[in-house]
Structure 1
């Protein structure tokens, strides 16, 4: 039986319960005052599908060590939390798309609304993007062929495009239009790494699901 381990609080348990409905998993709670080391050991059990904890408990050590996905719950989360809309930011790399692929397929099959977001910055905007009549359609075809088609279900391939700082747009879209943010990441926090993950996790007003590279939420396994 798959289990979701929650470091106990009212809001964290509500999020875990909503995820359990999607994944057909059992929620197992551990005390709120458990140490980070003890929680990490609990997540290492082979039956554990993912972990859930509040941001107040300090998620970074767990997030870096855990081989299973971790959901971090902000204080604004309601005790009657419902999971209906998910925001999936993609940086345009196949590694990021592969990291979130199985989880997005699971959410799509459960009827959850998926918004895929890609944000350009000054380093990633395609050449001649100002020639919108030609550049945008060509870029979208390439992005769908390289990122969406191999990794996302056909019903979840509409991409929302923004330009600027990725973290800012993630927070802006998630505030009123999402119940969960899904981020694939490398689990590296060295200088200059994971800037978007850091920014999102520190300021998001909805729960954030961190998916380690090569990990995903796989119900029924």
Structure 2
């Protein structure tokens, strides 16, 4: 089994399968909350999201939650106990969403997908340099880390260049741009300031962008309409 750093030629598959996995889990009432490079593994071309110990159960009564727990190998009772001991900023700081770094208490699917965006950027940086320029922020500096991420993703044309990423296949860039649009834009306008200022989550999961990320087959299998989503 290998990780994302060894999957340069298959990053589009990593993105589509991971987004599908996270969406399916969210539909069943589970958020991962610690998406990182070490928690995405690959075996025989199949992507597996592991280490669900920091997960959040949104609703233990939703149908399908036991099947999701069995498929991805986590214990529902253990997650319930861990959640009691965790605070709102649980996760790996380098991959935390901007809103989580700023200490906002609510988490949703879009935070997990934002973490995937940073994982892919780190992997591409690793391929370009043999090591990652994607810094691990200190917990005491979370606000500065959040502001740095807003600056990083503000410009569609420069976020790869800022990280010194010179090698990025066209199909990977298309998916990264789609992720950026889903996570940081509304009506094609950048909303970084809104992410910093607003106390409540205002982002919408656009189903057309989710379909573009997953592909038609995975999208049709996985996506019921999540809360806060739009077909626009």
Normalising by structure 2, we get a TM-score of: 0.24
Larger strand percent: 1
Greater relative CO, 1 or 2 (CA 8 Å, sep 6+): 1
Larger helix percent: 2
Normalising by structure 1, we get a TM-score of: 0.24
